[in-house]
Structure 1
């Protein structure tokens, strides 16, 4: 990258989904990486064929878990959607899509398990035995499946950025003024957030670097006065 001599370098190198259970519900890896039958959304996008029945564990709470459950169900698989939230794709309440998503999945025959946290998984004949715990009580149960799709969190691909930062002493000789991460490589989020990050970077290309605590809007303090 340095050899090109670009003055401004923007890295939009994306992110990838974790398969070990790290996410909102669990702040440490949960699953043994040696377990067979554990998939991520990236595996499905790459064309992986999943044996049925399938459990989609959604600790992301946006559209991905519900969308994958729908896709897999349309392929004729038995699908269970498990989520620690009280409803499917909970964040889509903000986009007025939640009711349509959950009702659509139920009508398709997707079996929904809400308020259920994945607490462990064991390899058994024919697949996996998942340990589920209620997020509201001490109730526990086991759900067996042939495939488990983990929709938890994503890791940014920032290795190139880190390598360039380690060689800052070469930037001036190469004509490099700045190196910036964009989109999912900076903070995994929605498609809209990634598009906005790229658009904003282009608009602010020649602008001076903002202060670390700067915000992209004017603050106004409004107070009522008796005068």
Structure 2
């Protein structure tokens, strides 16, 4: 490849990265209603470059949302990593997903609704959910091993139930805004009711 060809590819990668970064910031702040022109202005790019790299604004939005929720999941796991009890672990996990990381989770719930009419983008959502569930299984397994907690169902089922409950609460929070009636303690109780964690386990120390 010639020097000019390498420079062109490097420039293209940088443009794509700039568009993705700008789109992430704007989508997180304003949702999927952000116009392509605004994203391009923030990235110093042109609208046809969004089409070139993603084909449509919808695909860009879904890719941004998928990356955002994966970061949110990792952020929650990192926040809960130093917990000393199962209760503290669950509160930190849920508190992060419904607190600092909530905009990212909200973005992904919007993306899930979008693919109901854009089935060509469904694979992006499916792959992301699979990754979330796998990571959830790993995190849950590590906690189980350290506490001796016995699940009522397969660990894969419990991981899916956890994320389904999180998405449900986030949708409620998004829809009701200030009237969202759950405290952190109540949100933890709602999400883990399906896991049926007894009080004796919630107070158990994580070795």
TM-score normalized by structure 2?
Answer: 0.25
Bigger share in helix: 2
Give 1 or 2 for the bigger CA radius of gyration.
Answer: 1
Q: Comparing both chains, which one has the higher relative contact order based on Cα–Cα distances under 8 Å and sequence gaps of 6 or more? A: 1
Considering fraction of residues, name the structure with more strand. Answer: 1
